[in-house]
Amino acid sequence: MSIYQAPLRDMQFVMFEVFNLEEELKQLPAHAETNRELIDQVLEEAGKFASEVLFPLNQPGDAEGCHYDQATKSVTTPKGFKEAYQKFVEGGWAALACDPKYGGQGLPIVVNNAFYEMLNSANQAWTMYPGLAHGAYECIRAHGSTEQQQAYLPKLVSGEWVGTMCLTEAHAGTDLGLLRTKAEPQADGSYLITGNKIFISGGEQDLAENIVHLVLARLPDAPLGTKGISLFIVPKFLPKEDGSLGERNPIFCGAIEHKMGIRASATCQMNLDGAQGWLLGEPNKGLAAMFVMMNAARLGVGMQGLGLTEVAYQNAVVYAKDRQQSRSPSAHKPNQAADVIIAHPDVRRMLLTARALAEGGRALATFIALQIDKELNHPDETIRKDAEDLVALLTPVVKAFLTDNGWIATSEAMQVFGGHGYIAEWGVEQYVRDSRINMIYEGTNTIQSLDLLGRKILLDNGAKLKKFGKMVQDFVEEYGTEEAMQEFVNPLADIGEKVTKLTMEIGMKAMQNPDEAGAAAVPYLRVLGHLVFAYFFARMAKIALDKQDSGDDFYKAKLHTARFYFARLLPETAMLIRQARSGAQNLLAMEASLF
């Protein structure tokens, strides 16, 4: 009963009208020949793959789940998943944004990002399998030796092999400094790795012929804590010199988790019993190397939140236009007993909430992806550095704000369905269940908030934040005198000033008591997320105002959504700012024994 169509029109609007993508790419030598016609063709085919191949597998895959065979320690994915993966590989989708040097198509990250929004809308659980492979590719490309790059990257790019990140251990959780997995050096330059990892997405599966595990472990006599962690490549099957598969490496799945959501994604307990691995990067600097993959994963999880926001919204709209229930005082038709529920004000509120969160999230995600392309490819060092700083600043916002919003949007969509939303056949309850994990893994949203406030803002005295603030200020100064823009520019300027003041206030308090930053971090991130959304909605509103009489109703709808955002969603910041200012005392004064 569920539906999904890729939101191509809005993607094109954000790319080409808001961010002027075609002109931006001309400044990047690696992508100077990538024009709109090509991008539109890729996105159209990507949308077909998502809606026609992956989406029909989403509900049945959730109902079936993965199967674990204790005797062989193997995992079988739900019916149709393997065939869909083969179509993914045959279509060249795994290679979309990869370096042509390794067989990639060399398209910009911003295009790949849009593709992954579609995949996550269509089938988040399936998408996790190839999604992690791209992170492994980026990590080996950044830190691997020439031999490692030649051995692993072409296979990851083609999709013949996939990847995982083996970080977490049962006793450690997010605190990776506590991990115990050991790596013993061997005479041939390899290491034998022994330990146990948990919550490893795609740690075992039947889609690809090999799995490249990136494993965090400790060398003998390594320093305690995070300073003593190294990173290793540990393949499921040891590759031969000709690229073919050799003997099975003793890294096995001991069990799979039975979960609230993403049931078709195999979440594995992995046991390493002297598995052969090779050091990736420098000894005892594995966490820094792994951050390449971790940051890619955090952006990817943000896209999961955005993807579910969009698909939940689409289904709620279809239902609201069809479902008749109760009479609307202003829109009631005398010849029928009840009106379609989209006529009711609060149903409109729920739909517009999900719509605004999707459109704001899409603008943010596109912006970040474009900054990554600039960071990697722009010939001007200053522009590369500015892009790098914006990516660092906004990565925790993408991960936490978009996944919080995904939880809000899927819940609102489920509410539109009423009692039917709680029933599996309509599909929306799966989006609610699937969305909840996105706030937890790849660093909980609290950890993202601590990273944002502590490392990305206070640690450099707000230098990165000022770069984004300058963009906001420039927009306000350019359009602040236009009468038609007052309803957007004034609240944008206001929240910008409040973020600056709040940041300084928290920074001063944290100098006296570090707990003040921890107490303020979560509401602070959400306030900053709204500043980012307000900026992008103001930019989108400017374009929509200029084109509202063009005859294209898209711009009228965009303008309505922007007005709703500023009137109904941005005011959340008043409460959040009061929470952030309330300090640590109301959290810590109560003795632990009284809980």
Find out if CATH 1.20.140.10 is the number for domain 292-584.
yes
Find out if CATH 3.40.228.10 is the number for domain 8-143.
no
398-424: average pLDDT? 97
Closest CA to 395 of 321, 328, 447: 447
Q: Inform me whether the pLDDT recorded for 550 exceeds 70.
A: yes
Taking a C-beta distance cutoff of 8 angstroms, is the pair 50, 87 a contact? no
Closest CA to 582 of 527, 528, 506: 506
Q: What is the DSSP string of 453-472?
A: IIIIIITTTTHHHHHHHHHH
Query: What CATH number was assigned to the domain covering residues 161-285?
Result: 2.40.110.20
Using the structure block, give the residue that is written with the tokens 């931006």.
Answer: 24
Copy the structure tokens of residue 317: 């709209």
Q: Which of 8-12, 115-119, 168-172, 388-392 has the lowest mean pLDDT?
A: 168-172
Classified as helix, coil or strand, 503 is helix
Q: Which residue has the higher pLDDT, 38 or 174?
A: 38
Q: Note the pLDDT tens digit of each residue in 201-215.
A: 999 999 999 999 999
Residue 391 has a CB neighbour count (10 Å cut-off) of 21
Q: Note the pLDDT tens digit of each residue in 235-252.
A: 999 999 888 999 999 999
Q: Inform me whether the pLDDT recorded for 9 exceeds 70.
A: yes
- What are the start and end residues of each CATH 1.10.540.10 domain in the chain? 8-143
470-487: average pLDDT? 97
Is 442 a catalytic site residue? Answer: yes
pLDDT of 54 reads 98
pLDDT of 178 reads 87
Listed in sequence order, the residues at least 6 apart from 228 whose beta carbon sits closer than 8 Å to its beta carbon are 218, 219, 222, 284
Classified as helix, coil or strand, 573 is helix
Copy the structure tokens of residue 491: 């609240």
pLDDT of 419 reads 96
- Active-site residue (options: 442, 478, 483, 487): 442
Q: Note the pLDDT tens digit of each residue in 184-194.
A: 999 999 999 99
As beta bridge partners, residue 253 has 270
Q: Which residue has the higher pLDDT, 584 or 289?
A: 584
pLDDT of 289 reads 83
Tell me the C-alpha distance between 215 and 164, whole Å. 8
Classified as helix, coil or strand, 156 is helix
pLDDT of 316 reads 98
Report the amino acid identity of residue 224: L
- What are the start and end residues of each CATH 1.20.140.10 domain in the chain? 292-584
Closest CA to 290 of 151, 456, 154, 166: 166
Quote the DSSP letter at residue 23. Answer: H
Tell me the C-alpha distance between 106 and 218, whole Å. 36
Q: pLDDT band at 351, cuts 50/70/90?
A: very high
- What are the start and end residues of each CATH 2.40.110.20 domain in the chain? 161-285
Q: Inform me whether the pLDDT recorded for 415 exceeds 90.
A: yes
Reported pTM: 0.96
Chain-centroid distance of CA 200 in Å reads 17
